[in-house]
């Protein structure tokens, strides 16, 4: 356990930047007086307390009787976990899923260390939490419709937890703290360890010939517990690698690299790992790479020239010409990738004066161009390459993985789009303002289901011949546009909160409009918009359940329409819905907590 305390000390130091001011605390009331003062202070309050306690007890008892009713088919969820997570992803390719999970966990572990996540809590406080958890557990054991023997076992467990918490609270030095990350690690190790020890039962769906359910007593299948153990070890290893990088390497470089890796992670995992594309090497070397190289060399040279401070006005004219040329390519038959490359080059060319400077600044700018161009070229190639994963249905993912994928892609795509819309709507240029306002008002006036149906059915009809867009991609584009319109309105609120004095101060030191927007206005506006933005992300995550309407198998659809129709689990809808809502809640609650921490962190500098 010494490594945990080491971990705690390590993280405790990092949060020690805020000076602990000992304020005169209001003396703590003994429990009896606290109850009197807060729950029974007047006859009316006493009535309220009694009535609401009765209601809470009734609800808890109802819920517990539902969950522990022997008629409940919980083995439906246990057996169908794989279906809920990945739908029909082939079992022999499952290593790809685990690799993806491992990549995500590695990045998480590294980021937790590099961004110094987690805080220190006093051990006495942990003891208090355990004590109250034990008491709640005891209450549940009494309320639940258990047999006498089960009730006694659960009561014993509850007493053990509460007793442990109580002794911890009393014995622990009030100065001793432990990192929240260490607590999470202890909890996760307990969970993973229990997979090897506790007989949860071994549930599998045997798909060969006649599908049948196998439910055996004992611990869970090796194909579940072994990978999860490895995953936990990978996450811990990544964390310690992160602390090493944080302390030895250059912090800013590490953070930039990590942020880029996070951005690259979704497309790489989806298109390279999960989808397993079957690249046509002849085409790649004959067409894709030459186009990339031509764009890279010519674009790089052009941008290097444009980012020279001495280029001046003629640079803006050239950039505008590139933009016109990019739009003109849409009028003639041409490869889509060439059009996209030109559009991106135009954007870079227009922004070049903002980032102009000495050789170093120019080199960074050209590197940025090459990086983005490379990612986009590769992505377009990968998207147009057929997948080798064979699954029934239209998309190779389903269940929670589809839900997560759509949510992540939508948020990542709609974020810059929403920013651009918000800036356009507040800009001085009437054309941008008008276009943005119309777009936002139109999208907000149409139900999301309409947009999803439109993009899944209608858009493929409008595409030029030879261009193919998978239904999921079309839907993600539609969903992103929808989400961007709402996001733009959230950001606009933040933009308006930046005072006129800030604009003037930035202008007075000679910043251009784009520099002012990027370094002064947006950082402040985004900080103000954190709560509505996170609320928006939670909404995006939950509304992916509407994908069912256009025939995609998201996690809710599987729980509601697929599992209850399996012969073994007829009518298990209620249980499945309860389980799925637990999954949704877990994710949304984490986002909400993350938002609170982000607010605390970014608010540090102000006032």
Q: Give residues in contact with another protein (CB under 8 A).
A: 309, 313, 356-358, 360-361, 499, 501-502, 504-512, 515, 519-520, 523-524, 527, 602, 604-607
Report, in Å, the least distance between residue 57 CB and another protein.
47
Residue 357 or 460: which CB sits closer to another protein?
Answer: 357
DSSP 510: T
Of 523, 536, 527, nearest in space to 488 by CA: 536
Considering the complex, what minimum distance in angstroms separates the CB of residue 11 from another protein? Answer: 21
By beta-carbon proximity to another protein, the closer residue of 266 and 315 is 315
Q: Smallest distance from the beta carbon of 12 to another protein, in angstroms?
A: 21
Q: Provide the minimum distance between the beta carbon of 388 and another protein in the complex, in angstroms, as a whole number.
A: 48
Q: Is 276 left (phi over 0), alpha (psi -120 to 50) or beta?
A: left
3-state helix, strand, coil in the chain (%, to 5): 75, 5, 20
Is the CB of 249 or the CB of 309 nearer to another protein? 309
Chain Cα centroid distance, residue 492: 23
Least gap, CB of 496 to another protein (angstroms): 16
Residue 549: both structure tokens together: 């309407």
Pick the closer one to another protein by CB: 361 or 469.
361
Query: Shortest gap between Cβ of 487 and another protein (angstroms)?
Result: 21
- The stretches of 427-552 forming alpha helices (DSSP H) are 430-444, 448-453, 459-462, 471-497, 500-508, 513-516, 522-528, 530-543
Q: How far is CA 476 from CA 252, 266, 405, 413, 483, in A?
A: 33, 13, 10, 9, 10
Residue 483 to residue 575: CA distance in whole angstroms: 31
What's the closest the beta carbon of residue 362 comes to another protein, in angstroms?
10
Report the distance separating Cα 514 and Cα 319, nearest Å.
16
The minimum distance between CB 309 and another protein, in angstroms, equals 6
The half-sphere exposure of 573 on its side-chain side, counting CA atoms within 13 A, is 5
How many residues are recorded in the chain? 607
**Element containing residue 255 per DSSP (H, E):** helix 251-267
Least separation in angstroms between CB 355 and another protein: 9
Which residue's structure tokens are 């467990």?
Answer: 157
CB atoms within 10 A of CB 520: 18
Contact 93, 276 (CB under 8 A): yes
Reference 402, options 279, 275, 276, 278; nearest CA is: 275
Nearer to another protein, 130 or 506 (CB): 506
Q: What's the closest the beta carbon of residue 530 comes to another protein, in angstroms?
A: 13
Closest contact distance (angstroms) between CB of 252 and another protein is 11
Task: Give the residue with the Cβ less far from another protein, 31 or 605.
Answer: 605
Residue 246 or 516 having the CB closest to another protein = 516
Facing residues of 204 across strands?
Answer: 214
Nearer to another protein, 299 or 353 (CB): 353
Residue with smaller CB distance to another protein, 319 or 559? 319
* Nearer CB in complex with another protein: 25/310: 310
> What contacts 587, CB < 8 A, 6 or more positions away?
541
Nearest in space to 83 (alpha carbons), one of 418, 605, 561, 415: 561
Between CA 20 and CA 112 the distance in angstroms is 24
Task: Using DSSP bridges, classify how beta strands 212-216 and 120-122 pair: parallel, antiparallel or unpaired.
Answer: unpaired
Taken in order 325, 288, 381, 295, the sign of the CA dihedral is negative
Q: Using DSSP, state whether 120 is helix, strand or coil.
A: strand
- Nearer to another protein (CB atom), residue 101 or residue 521: 521
> Which C-beta is closer to another protein: that of 394 or that of 502?
502
Exposed, middle or buried, 357 (CB in 10 Å: 0-12/13-18/19+)? Answer: middle
Rounded to the nearest whole angstrom, what is the least distance from the CB of residue 184 to another protein in the complex? 30
Please identify, using beta-carbon distances, which residue of 6 and 312 lies nearer to another protein.
312
CB of 344 to another protein, least distance (A): 23
Q: What distances in angstroms separate CA 233 from CA 106, 226, 229, 269, 542, one per listed residue?
A: 10, 11, 6, 21, 31
């Amino acid at each position: 356990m010494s490594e945990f305390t080491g971990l705690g000390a390590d993280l405790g130091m990092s949060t020690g930047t805020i000076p602990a001011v000992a304020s005169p605390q209001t003396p703590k009331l003994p429990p009896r007086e606290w109850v009197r003062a807060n729950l029974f202070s007047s006859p009316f309050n006493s009535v309220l307390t009694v009535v609401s306690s009765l209601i809470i007890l009734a609800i808890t008892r109802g819920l517990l009787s539902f969950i522990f009713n022997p008629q409940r088919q919980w083995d439906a969820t246990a057996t169908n976990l794989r279906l809920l997570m990945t739908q029909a992803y082939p079992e022999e390719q499952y290593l790809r899923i685990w690799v993806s999970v491992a990549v995500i966990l590695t990045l998480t572990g590294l980021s937790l260390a590099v961004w110094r996540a987690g805080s220190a809590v006093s051990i006495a406080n942990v003891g208090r939490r355990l004590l109250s958890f034990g008491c709640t557990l005891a209450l549940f054991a009494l309320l639940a419709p258990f047999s006498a023997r089960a009730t006694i076992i659960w009561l014993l467990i509850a007493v053990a937890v509460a007793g442990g918490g109580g002794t911890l609270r009393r014995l622990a030095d009030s100065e001793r703290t432990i990192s929240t990350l260490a607590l999470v690690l202890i909890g996760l190790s307990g969970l993973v360890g229990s997979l090897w020890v506790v007989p949860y039962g071994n549930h599998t769906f045997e798909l060969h010939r006649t599908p049948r359910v196998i439910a055996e007593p004992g611990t869970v299948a090796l194909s579940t517990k072994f990978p999860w153990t490895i995953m936990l070890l990978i996450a811990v290893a990544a964390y310690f690698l992160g602390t090493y990088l944080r302390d030895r390497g250059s912090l800013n470089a590490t953070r930039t690299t990590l942020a880029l890796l996070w951005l690259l992670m979704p497309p790489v995992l989806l298109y390279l790992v999960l989808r397993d594309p079957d690249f046509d090497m002849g085409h790649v070397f004959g067409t894709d790479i030459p186009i990339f190289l031509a764009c890279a060399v010519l674009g790089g040279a052009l941008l290097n020239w444009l980012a020279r401070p001495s280029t001046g006005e003629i640079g803006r004219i050239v950039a505008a010409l590139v933009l016109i040329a990019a739009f003109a390519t849409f009028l003639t038959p041409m490869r889509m990738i060439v059009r996209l490359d030109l559009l991106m080059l135009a954007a870079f060319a227009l922004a070049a004066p903002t980032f102009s400077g000495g050789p170093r600044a120019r080199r960074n700018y050209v590197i940025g161009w090459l990086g983005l161009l490379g990612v986009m070229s590769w992505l377009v190639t990968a998207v147009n390459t057929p997948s080798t994963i064979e699954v029934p249905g239209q998309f190779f993912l389903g269940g929670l993985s589809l839900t997560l994928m759509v949510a992540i892609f939508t948020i990542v795509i709609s974020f810059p789009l929403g920013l651009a819309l918000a800036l356009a709507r507040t800009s001085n240029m009437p054309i941008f303002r008008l276009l943005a306002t119309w777009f936002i008002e139109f999208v907000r006036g149409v139900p999301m289901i309409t947009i999803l149906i439109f993009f899944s059915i209608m858009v493929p009809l409008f595409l030029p011949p030879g261009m193919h867009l998978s239904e999921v991609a079309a839907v993600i584009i539609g969903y992103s546009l929808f989400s961007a319109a709402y996001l733009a309105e959230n950001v606009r609120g933040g933009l308006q909160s930046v005072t006129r004095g800030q604009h003037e101060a930035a202008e007075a030191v000679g910043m251009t409009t784009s520099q002012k927007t990027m370094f002064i206005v947006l950082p402040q506006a985004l900080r103000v918009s954190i709560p509505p933005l996170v609320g928006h992300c939670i909404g995006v995550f939950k509304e992916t359940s509407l994908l069912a309407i256009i025939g995609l198998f998201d996690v809710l659809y599987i729980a509601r329409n697929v599992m209850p129709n399996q012969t073994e689990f007829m009518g298990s809808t209620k249980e499945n819905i309860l389980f799925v809502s637990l999954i949704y809640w877990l994710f949304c609650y984490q986002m909400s907590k993350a938002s609170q921490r982000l607010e605390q962190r970014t608010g540090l500098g102000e006032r």
